[in-house]
Chains A and B, each alone.
Chain A
Amino acid sequence: MIDFKNMDRRRFMGLAGMTAASSLILPQFGRPAFGATPLAAVKEEDAVIGFGHVGPISDEGWTWSHHQGLEAVKAAFPKAKYLEVENVPFSADCTRIYRQMVSDGANMIISTSNYGDLIYEVSDRATDVAFMECDGHRKADNLSYYYIQHWFPTYVAGVAAGLLSKTGKLGYVASFPVPAVFCGTNAFLMGARTVNPEATLQTVVINSWFDPQGAKQAGTALIDNGCDFLFGIMDEAAYLQVAQERGVWAAMWNTDIRRYGPDAYVTSIVLDWNQYYVDQVRKRLAGEWTGGEGTLLPMGKGIDRDAWGAKVPADVAAKADAVRDRILNDGFNPFVGEIKDVDGNVRVTAGETMTPEALYTWDWSIEGVSGLKV
């Protein structure tokens, strides 16, 4: 403890000297926030790459798709060592797991879901390790985040939903009221409203990304309430099975899981991380990787709509694909004002185009989406 009350001149000078010296020893105090200095190169045979997943890799969904990315990296750099942890919990255990990876010599740690401070706790103290957080929101010298522009394929799926739904009541099985869900519901309904202006979207929040029984009950409740098209953001196929059983349509996320409901399946927002992960690891090994980046992979490069379901009429598929082509080829952006929120306030003024950053951090519902407002 420093006794400030009885501090004489000599002690003060000593303290000042210590402070000055420590700033020399610990240079990061004086460094700017985002120096674009790449982390030092690592030889492939010495490299250790860590992956932490939110769910089990057998989920055939989100975690499975990231695991495919890891497999692609392994194929590209077979001499490196890989660490993979499934079911990383949202607790201090997460910090422990990533700290363990660091002490196991990891050069790069990829967290395939966002854990916020639980990761920063580790990344701030291991500045020579590259950290990548999927769906994250903070950048640092050794920390980048990445995500996908899922709103474009979601909008395309929404167009198909608007054409297929007879009641105009769409249902959404939501995990948590987070930007990915706000943006997903809004983009989906905006797509549907281009063909059916009366369409509405009802959400049920089940407080999990992976809860088959919750998703099943939520899907059942939505159908009982008149919804004839289910969408959601789940890491498994439970509500697709409900849709199949009850004879309504469903669109999914992550991967092609049409075999769980071949008649109900319309499409899926499919992920493909392989190329991106291989690029990032290559940069890290070559000494070209820099932190402080926020990458949002565009449609066609990491995210897309899946091939249309067997029962989807050809004209519906063609109309939705026409929108997809316009986005891909003509740079068409449907997220243009005027957009009103659920209370009727204008949040995006007429003519204003929402930036990718604004879409990525969307945290309010548009008019017609109910059940998400906190």
Chain B
Amino acid sequence: MELITGILTTAVLAGGVLALAALGEVLAERVGVFNLGVEGLMALGGVTGIIAVTLYPNPFFGFVMALLVGLGFGALFALATVVFRANQVLCGLALTMLGSGLAVTIGKSYSGMPAKATFEKIIVPYLSDLPIVGRAFFSQNILVYLIYLIIPAVISFMLFRTRHGMNVRAVGENPAAADSAGIPVTLIRFCYVTIGAALGAGAGAYLTLAFVPSWSDGVVAGRGWIAVALVIFAGYRPFGAVFGALLFGVITAIGYVGQARNWPISPTFLSMLPYLGTMLAMILPVFLWRRLRLGFTAPAGLGVPFFRDER
């Protein structure tokens, strides 16, 4: 029992990073833009969070500053891919390089320094005393509740329960049809790509303010790419992304717990698990979702820039 609680506690905490980044990517891909810059955005968000709390020791301040930086770079990315209709893959890769490089340069003097303020645990009364899941799910920091419950619920409701959400999905599925129905395709794409990027940067701040908590070169460690893979695994659904992130958290935690419990498995193999998991997450949806007859396919307009005059 203690074993499961331990794994779940770490998994929830570790998975939060992936969940928030993947939620941002869901938004971008739902409107038809492939944002491969998540890795760079997370690095920028992470370093912003640390610098902000060093200047003013309040974790919320750090988190909000990271969101703002994410908005800024997201707007830049959206300007290139949505307004100027540049190649999304190349722009995404460029954003990753720019973000990672810039973060290392800016964060040089903050490297290794522990965060001056971190998100404190909030213990939910009664629920946190539940066996097994109590400590894992109901005594975490406030961002965990936000990431696992509130943000996906809001996105889910918006996408699938409102007229605006229908428009948003239409933009991702068939921008030409959406355009002729009078939906402002460019505006919607621009807004959601930017918001998605902000969430990506927020994931970086979560990493440095709630999880690690400190900044160093390479702290993101490929999580941005895992988040991109998760979105495909999750079938472009917010709660799917959150669930997938939790699953990844469990896989990562098992790597450490396995060693601590001295399982007769090579530690090299155990630390390989998250990456093996990513490969599975890429392969499984191809036949699994199809066989289960779930409509988890990519938005039809994903990756295609929209030119009104080429209709």
Interface residues of A in 248-272 (CB under 8 A from B): 260
Q: How far is the CA of A56 from the CA of B217 in the complex (A)?
A: 9
Q: Is the CB of B256 within 8 A of A221?
A: yes
Residues of B within 8 A of A225 (CB): 6, 257, 260-261
Interface residues of A in 203-223 (CB under 8 A from B): 203-207, 210, 212-214, 216-218, 220-222
Q: How far is the CA of A54 from the CA of B200 in the complex (A)?
A: 29
Q: Is the CB of A224 within 8 A of B2?
A: yes
Q: How far is the CA of A210 from the CA of B217 in the complex (A)?
A: 10
Q: Do A218 and B256 form a contact, CB below 8 Å, given A87-B217, A206-B271? A: yes
Residues of A within 8 A of B261 (CB): 221, 225
Interface residues of A in 121-157 (CB under 8 A from B): none
Interface residues of A in 271-313 (CB under 8 A from B): none
Q: Do A213 and B212 form a contact, CB below 8 Å, given A55-B112, A58-B110, A220-B6? A: yes
Q: How many residues of B contact A (CB 8 A)?
A: 35
Q: Is the CB of A224 within 8 A of B111?
A: no
Chain A CB within 8 A of B186 CB: no
Q: How far is the CB of B217 from chain A (nearest CB, A)?
A: 6
Query: Can you pick out 9 interface pairs between chain A and chain B where the beta carbons lie within 8 Å of each other?
Result: A56-B111, A61-B112, A206-B271, A218-B259, A220-B10, A220-B256, A221-B253, A221-B257, A221-B259
Query: Out of A202, A217, A224, A260, which one reaches B3, CB within 8 Å?
Result: A224
Q: Which residue of B lies closest to A225 (CB)?
A: B260
Residues of A within 8 A of B268 (CB): 207
Residues of A within 8 A of B267 (CB): 204-205, 207, 371
Q: Is the CB of B10 within 8 A of A221?
A: yes
Chain A CB within 8 A of B119 CB: no
Residues of B within 8 A of A204 (CB): 256, 259-260, 267
Query: Out of B14, B213, B260, which one reaches A224, CB within 8 Å?
Result: B260
Which of B2, B212, B214, B267 has the largest count of A CB atoms less than 10 A from its CB?
Answer: B267
Chain A CB within 8 A of B211 CB: yes
Chain B CB within 8 A of A44 CB: no
Query: Out of B109, B112, B266, which one reaches A60, CB within 8 Å?
Result: B112
Residues of A within 8 A of B112 (CB): 55-56, 58-61, 210, 235-236
Q: Do A371 and B212 form a contact, CB below 8 Å, given A58-B111, A213-B219, A217-B14? A: no
Q: Which residue of A lies closest to B9 (CB)?
A: A220
Query: Out of B14, B109, B216, B253, which one reaches A212, CB within 8 Å?
Result: B216
Chain B CB within 8 A of A160 CB: no
Residues of B within 8 A of A370 (CB): 262
Q: How far is the CA of A126 from the CA of B219 in the complex (A)?
A: 36
Q: How far is the CB of B87 from chain A (nearest CB, A)?
A: 29
Residues of A within 8 A of B109 (CB): 58
Chain B CB within 8 A of A106 CB: no
Q: How far is the CB of B167 from chain A (nearest CB, A)?
A: 39
Chain A CB within 8 A of B108 CB: yes
Chain B CB within 8 A of A241 CB: yes
Query: Out of A61, A87, A214, A222, which one reaches B260, CB within 8 Å?
Result: A222
Interface residues of B in 227-271 (CB under 8 A from A): 252-253, 256-257, 259-262, 266-268, 271
Q: Do A236 and B214 form a contact, CB below 8 Å, given A58-B111, A207-B271, A213-B219? A: yes
Chain B CB within 8 A of A238 CB: yes
Chain A CB within 8 A of B114 CB: yes
Interface residues of B in 257-291 (CB under 8 A from A): 257, 259-262, 266-268, 271
Q: Is the CB of B216 within 8 A of A210?
A: yes
Q: How far is the CA of A204 from the CA of B221 in the complex (A)?
A: 19
Q: A-B pairs with the 10 shortest C-beta distances?
A: A224-B6, A221-B260, A59-B112, A56-B111, A221-B256, A204-B259, A205-B267, A225-B260, A217-B256, A212-B212
Chain B CB within 8 A of A171 CB: yes
Chain B CB within 8 A of A192 CB: no
